């Protein structure tokens, strides 16, 4: 029993240390998201863009995005819109062409998924007579702020090579699930992405609204074919000393699932891809960060280590419950309490307060704050999703998220 107790005690001490260190790390970093730095210097529109839309059976939603993109506040002769019709069995290609885009159709039942589709499309793009300064990627259900390409032009002119746009939710008020996504995204944009941008740390790529310098793509290749191709490409960049940056003023609106089942299926795919990338890149990135004493690489490795940001809150909440509200657990099991009660209370207050603070700083409409009442329930659903993803992390089968609602930009602006 002594050995069992020592092992159990050691495990819980380690759990407390991990929860405390990671929780405090995020609290401190989030403070740098409170203030916004001055806007990027405005440059004349000179950069040319190939705008890629990855689509699989998206005939119902793709037209509004193409119309939106063709009306951006950027010289029309400096960009073209391409749709990758990946293994489509509907009329996505026809709808895309009628809307004014250049549609490429790809059929490969073995290599399915967005990562493979992008890799194939880039090969087609390099064969075209016209070459572009940068490639921008969107999902078919997105909408984009009119200034998007101008902001990317500014960033590229300032020397950025990989840029992530601000990710917002297109349909936050449709259900309790979609408003939970909205609260999470508003928090992430402000307290995670903007904070790291202000500190000069690498930003995480979000799968859409990404702009990449063409020369960089040709130099290192796409090579990101996991279920989270954005995370994989971002890590490869960081390992080469190329840090993705953040464009807080270039907004992308993404459609989110309305029901819990569809949401959990989508997040399961995200977590499977995250575990896969963590397995392949965490230790190489961690070793390189320690060898070079590089904080940016260490921060990127920590992001890989935690399969989701909500895990921090779950761990610290668990410690708060056991130590403050159920002290008998420690007395009966004789497990060591490493930190005082006030530490866990304070840490949880700071972590939970970040959501409404971020929403206030982002000037989110008042009705969205009602979502804070359902966010804790949504957060709890991450636990079974992450657990299932861990045991199915070798899965590489892409599960498509169905989109059916064709929202236009004017509807979002009037909400």
- Average pLDDT over the chain reads 88
How many angstroms separate the CA atoms of 281 and 303, rounded? 11
Supply the pLDDT for residue 276.
85
> CB neighbours of 276 closer than 8 A, spacing ≥ 6?
226, 227, 228, 393, 394, 396
Supply the pLDDT for residue 41.
82
How many angstroms separate the CA atoms of 190 and 43, rounded? 25
Give the β-pairing of 210-213 and 134-139: antiparallel
Supply the pLDDT for residue 21.
82
Closest CA to 165 of 175, 152, 154, 178: 152
Residue 224 corresponds to which tokens in the numbers above?
């990101």
Supply the pLDDT for residue 312.
57
Supply the pLDDT for residue 324.
65
| b (16+ CB within 10 A) / e for 157-186 | beebbbbbbbbbbbbbebbbbbbbbbbbbb
Residue 126 corresponds to which tokens in the numbers above?
């390099």
Supply the pLDDT for residue 405.
61
Better-scored residue on pLDDT, 13 or 79? 79
What pLDDT band is residue 335 in, cutting at 50, 70 and 90? low
Supply the pLDDT for residue 243.
97
Residue 127: is its pLDDT beyond 70? yes
How many angstroms separate the CA atoms of 32 and 368, rounded? 24
Residue 332: is its pLDDT beyond 80? no
Better-scored residue on pLDDT, 266 or 133? 133
> CB neighbours of 297 closer than 8 A, spacing ≥ 6?
238, 239, 285, 288, 289
pLDDT tens figures, 14-72: 777 777 787 888 889 999 999 987 767 899 999 999 999 999 999 988 999 999 999 99
Residue 313: is its pLDDT beyond 70? no
Residue 329: is its pLDDT beyond 70? no
Percent of the chain at pLDDT > 90 equals 61
How many angstroms separate the CA atoms of 153 and 51, rounded? 13
What pLDDT band is residue 414 in, cutting at 50, 70 and 90? low
Class of domain 49-277+402-413: alpha beta
pLDDT tens figures, 186-201: 999 999 999 999 999 9
Give the β-pairing of 210-213 and 162-169: antiparallel
How many angstroms separate the CA atoms of 115 and 185, rounded? 23
Residue 306: is its pLDDT beyond 80? no
Supply the pLDDT for residue 26.
85
Question: H-helix or E-strand containing 106?
Answer: strand 102-106
The arithmetic mean of pLDDT across residues 212-238, rounded, is 90
> How far, CA to CA in Å, does 36 sit from each of 32, 50, 144, 160, 196?
9, 30, 22, 18, 11
Residue 181: is its pLDDT beyond 50? yes
The domains of the chain are located at 49-277+402-413
How many angstroms separate the CA atoms of 183 and 31, rounded? 18
The arithmetic mean of pLDDT across residues 293-316, rounded, is 75
The pTM of the full predicted model, rounded to 2 decimals, is 0.90
What pLDDT band is residue 328 in, cutting at 50, 70 and 90? low
pLDDT tens figures, 2-22: 676 677 777 777 777 777 787
Q: What phi, psi does 25 have (nearest 5°)?
A: -60, -45
> CB neighbours of 338 closer than 8 A, spacing ≥ 6?
13, 16, 17, 20
What pLDDT band is residue 349 in, cutting at 50, 70 and 90? confident
pLDDT tens figures, 248-295: 999 999 999 999 999 999 999 888 888 888 888 989 999 999 999 999
Q: Out of 54-63, 114-123, 232-241, 392-401, which region has the weakest mean confidence (pLDDT)? A: 392-401
What pLDDT band is residue 308 in, cutting at 50, 70 and 90? very low
């Amino acid at each position: 029993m002594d050995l069992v107790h020592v092992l159990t005690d050691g495990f819980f001490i380690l759990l407390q240390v991990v929860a405390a260190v990671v929780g405090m790390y995020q609290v401190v970093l989030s403070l740098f998201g409170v203030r916004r730095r001055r806007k990027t210097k405005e440059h004349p529109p000179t950069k040319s863009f190939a705008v890629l839309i990855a689509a699989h059976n998206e005939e119902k939603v793709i037209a509004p995005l193409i119309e939106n993109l063709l009306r951006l506040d950027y010289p029309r002769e400096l960009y073209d819109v391409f749709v990758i019709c990946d293994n489509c069995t509907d009329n996505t290609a026809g709808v895309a062409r009628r809307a004014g885009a250049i549609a490429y159709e790809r059929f490969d039942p073995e290599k399915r998924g967005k990562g493979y589709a992008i890799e194939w499309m880039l090969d087609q793009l390099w064969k075209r007579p016209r070459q572009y300064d940068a490639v921008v990627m969107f999902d078919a259900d997105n909408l984009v702020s009119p200034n998007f390409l101008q902001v990317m032009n500014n960033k590229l002119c300032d020397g950025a090579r990989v840029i992530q746009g601000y990710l917002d939710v297109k349909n936050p008020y449709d259900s309790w699930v979609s408003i939970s996504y909205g609260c999470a995204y508003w928090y992430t944009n402000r307290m995670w992405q903007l904070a790291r941008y202000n500190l000069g740390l690498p930003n995480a790529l979000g799968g859409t609204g990404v702009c990449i310098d063409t020369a960089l793509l040709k130099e290192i290749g796409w090579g990101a074919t996991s279920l989270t191709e954005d995370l994989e490409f971002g890590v490869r960049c960081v390992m080469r000393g190329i840090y993705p940056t953040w464009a807080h003023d270039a907004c992308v609106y993404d459609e989110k699932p309305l029901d819990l089942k569809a949401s959990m299926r989508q997040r399961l795919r995200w977590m499977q891809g995250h575990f896969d990338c963590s397995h392949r890149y965490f230790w190489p990135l961690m070793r390189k960060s320690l060898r070079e004493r590089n904080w940016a690489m260490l921060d990127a490795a920590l992001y890989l280590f935690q399969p989701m940001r909500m895990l921090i809150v779950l761990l610290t909440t668990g410690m708060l419950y056991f130590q403050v509200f159920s002290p008998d657990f420690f007395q009966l099991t004789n497990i060591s309490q490493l930190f005082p009660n006030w530490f866990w209370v304070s840490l949880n207050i700071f972590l939970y307060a970040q959501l409404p603070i971020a929403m206030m700083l982002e000037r989110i409409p008042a009705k969205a704050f009602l979502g804070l009442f359902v966010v804790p329930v949504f957060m709890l659903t991450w636990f079974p999703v992450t657990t299932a993803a861990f045991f199915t992390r070798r899965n590489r089968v892409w599960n498509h998220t169905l989109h059916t609602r064709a929202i236009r930009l004017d509807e979002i602006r009037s909400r």
